Chains A and B, each alone.
Chain A
Amino acid sequence: GAGVSQSPSNKVTEKGKDVELRCDPISGHTALYWYRQSLGQGLEFLIYFQGNSAPDKSGLPSDRFSAERTGGSVSTLTIQRTQQEDSAVYLCASRPSGNTEAFFGQGTRLTVV
């Protein structure tokens, strides 16, 4: 499809394990975002990639969280030593240059047990 694709859709992991979440943005979109939505909360900004510029990591909640974007396309969000409070829906979005709005994927629901 032509939309933002995230995988896996659902992930259940044990506390202390590492997880990787993948985002395939819309082809040609230069900006890529990661957000998360915890139960009953709004969308919390995590990280923003724009072209070849240094990413804005100001929203990452701890050093257990990291993200990379390879070749200006696919992005991976990695959470090390997962904790129960990391349980949330992780949303990826991409935006073409010159556009105001971003397009979101369906999200990855992460459950840490």
Chain B
Amino acid sequence: DQQVKQNSPSLSVQEGRISILNCDYTNSMFDYFLWYKKYPAEGPTFLISISSIKDKNEDGRFTVFLNKSAKHLSLHIVPSQPGDSAVYFCAAIPTSGTYKYIFGTGTRLKVLA
């Protein structure tokens, strides 16, 4: 039972355009949502997070949107740069139980120069 889903395994975007990565969640209540970026042979690095009481959080080129009624989370990167090419994971922290991260399966973003 995958609680956090990333239905697009890959995405290609032209440099300078907007990249939109999507994440859906089901069933459980979550307190926070996070996005991590992962380069090959490296560990994931934190990008941006959002509390469940907010609907938007912005940090430079990165903006995360949360639509609670649709149980949908998205990460916008604008403008996209070739260095943004990586695998992006969304993660959620449940409201109850231990403070652990439930990750999606990831979306591979390729930014074309």
Contacts and interface: CB of A to CB of B under 8 A. Distances in A.
B18 interface: no
Contacts of B112: none
Interface string A68-111: 00000000000000000000000101010000111111110000
B43 A50 contact: no
A43 B44 contact: yes
Interface residues of B, number: 24
Contacts of A105: 43
B46 A102 contact: yes
Contacts of A41: 105
Interface string A46-76: 0010100000100100000000000000000
Is chain A's interface secondary structure helix, strand, loop, or mixed overall? Answer: strand
Interface in B76-113: 89, 91, 93, 97-106
A19 interface: no
